[in-house]
Amino acid sequence: CLRGCLGPPAAHSLSEEMELEFRKRSPYNYLQVAYFKINKLEKAVAAAHTFFVGNPEHMEMRQNLDYYQTMSGVKEADFKDLETQPHMQEFRLGVRLYSEEQPEEAVPHLEAALHEYFVAYEECHALCEGPYDYDGYNYLEYNADLFQAITDHYIQVLSCKQNCVTELASHPSREKPFEDFLPSHYNYLQFAYYNIGNYTQAVECAKTYLLFFPNDEVMNQNLAYYAAMLGEEHARSIGPRESAKEYRQRSLLEKELLFFAYDVFGIPFVDPDSWTPEEVIPKRLQEKQKSERETAVRISQEIGNLMKEIETLVEEKTKESLDVSRLTREGGPLLYEGISLTMNSRLLNGSQRVVMDGVISDHECQELQRLTNVAATSGDGYRGQTSPHTPNEKFYGVTVFKALKLGQEGKVPLQSAHLYYNVTEKVRRIMESYFRLDTPLYFSYSHLVCRTAIDEVQAERKDDSHPVHVDNCILNAETLVCVKEPPAYTFRDYSAILYLNGDFDGGNFYFTELDAKTVTAEVQPQCGRAVGFSSGTENPHGVKAVTRGQRCAIRAGESSRHERSTWDTSSNALSLWSHCLVLPGPAVNGIQVGKGVKTGSDAEFLLPSLGPTSAVLVQRVGPAGKEMSLGPLRNLPCPLGSSS
């Protein structure tokens, strides 16, 4: 049939190596050089960009593109991907417009993406109807009877067709394909249509999405809302889209055959979709897969536990070898006048520990305490828990960023917010200098905290204000093991506490051994006193109960890794708060970061592309600014950004 249709060219088939070169877009590497040499810059730029999209790690091509950008006559529009798939181009454009709160402009692109997707899907299916790939066999060595040969070939064709889902959801700029790519079109569309007041289409798209995920709670709530707005009777007459129904039915029939082949013939099949109903999979295969998953989880846990044990042993050995050198190295200059060394590691019966006084003045202590009482929020910094460590104390806190934001809004004195920032920076510099560190420290966390004793519950009290713990690992005091994993601050290297007052009862800071019982040193808080220490297993610590009054302090965590810094320590950092900074960024729940979205609790993002790392204030909002109880909910992936 192929020879009859195509003639002599049908006798030639591409090798796997040649197909791989085309998938890697290698021809465009040669094309961009050829076009450049014959002075066709527009085509050279397009070819170079096309190659680079598929090979983002290719440094030589990156340099070529940088060079092209400096050349006269080269326009931004010349940097285009010649291999982009129409459905993917329309989808990405539609999602970008959607994320920028332009639903009316997004709808035609998302609808076009759907149309182009089904065209590409049919083409991909057709290309699967080729000759049998012997998959490592020489065709002369392949030995099968007629029925086995038909089965092998047909299963290969079906597997190829199912793989079209993954192929069409992939883009060279992404490590993984878009998850649930086709259903996500209907998810975006239902909310976009709602935003432009087209409830008929919103109902249709919501029902189409529910074809794939019938138990999706958010979408069922949305559908109920749309039906109420449109009228229940009218909404009932609207069904899901026929194209999606046919697609789903066809895909399920293919899956049934492939799962049957997996169950009976042992031919593996990895389902590319998460929406496949469980009843499609044979019971025996379900049980087998469940057993395999449990085995995989068990093996993974065993390997993970073994790796943690090895990591802990290595850290302990490294710590032992470093302790001596650290003891001899610590004791660097304190940098500022008026600061005195009160206790070093030797007096504190440990390593990498220090207590110093006079870090800030009485006036500065009082100003920071006033800032706490005005700006702090109950439970702030601990996910809103008003008593995160003990029910016998109330906890109030404020971050540097929140204080600066409130200062900009005129809700607290801006001078006090600046003082908070400057004092925290001062502590960082002192720690870095005193411990004579080879690498600079960056703040990974800073928090102005007050703990207030609840008078009526102090009589029978036996608990601590903050139980013994290690900052960068989870301590198991019974086994004397500390595991580096979240929610511990695994990236933290040093910690510091700067006290603002001493007019309260209890609240002493203390160090212990790994058993969390043997106290090795105790420190009484007072204004201007700072405790600094390394954050590892050498320094378990806790805080005794505050039984009367209020204990206030600045807690700071420091990391030697700049990517863990919450803000740049240069003089540029504060200047960013003097004006609004609006920048493009990753999509967060469908909302583009940096687009001036209003109201909510603040979040902090790093934008390393700005040069010195800058803090950007981003607001969290409900779906499209609607009241959550009055409108539909949005539960979408974030396809435009690498993270959110």
**What single DSSP character describes residue 632?**
-
Please indicate whether residue 555 is annotated as part of the active site: no
Across the beta sheet with 519-523, the strand order is 466-469, 541-543, 509-512, 519-523
Q: What are the phi and psi torsion angles at 542 (to 5°)?
A: -155, 180
Positive or negative: CA dihedral 325, 328, 329, 331: positive
Q: How far is CA 272 from CA 126, 167, 245, 252, in A?
A: 19, 10, 18, 12
C-alpha to C-alpha distance for 290 and 283, rounded to whole angstroms: 10
Other C-beta atoms lying within 10 Å of the C-beta of residue 490: 16
Long-range Cβ contacts of 306-311 (<8 Å, 24+ apart): 308/483, 308/484, 308/485, 311/484
| CB neighbour list of residue 41: distance below 8 Å, 6 or more residues apart | 35, 68, 71, 73, 74, 78
Amino acid at 276: T
Half-sphere exposure of 195 (CA within 13 A, CB side): 23
The four Cα atoms 227, 228, 234, 235 give a dihedral, to 10 degrees, of: 10
| CB neighbour list of residue 386: distance below 8 Å, 6 or more residues apart | 378, 379, 394, 395
The DSSP line for 397-429 is: EEEHHHHHHHHHTTSS-HHHHHHHHHHHHHHHH
Residue found by looking up tokens 């092209």 in the block: 68
3-state secondary structure of 328: helix
3-state secondary structure of 352: coil
Q: Which of these is catalytic: 326, 353, 451, 551?
A: 551
User: Torsion-angle region of residue 312: left (phi > 0), alpha (psi -120 to 50) or beta?
Assistant: alpha
Residue 261 host element (H or E) = helix 242-265
Q: Are 595 and 100 in contact (CB under 8 A)?
A: yes
Kindly state the tokens that stand for 406: 């409130």
User: Torsion-angle region of residue 379: left (phi > 0), alpha (psi -120 to 50) or beta?
Assistant: left
CA-closest candidate to residue 173, choices 50, 46, 273: 50
Residue found by looking up tokens 């703990």 in the block: 451
Catalytically active residues, by annotation: 551
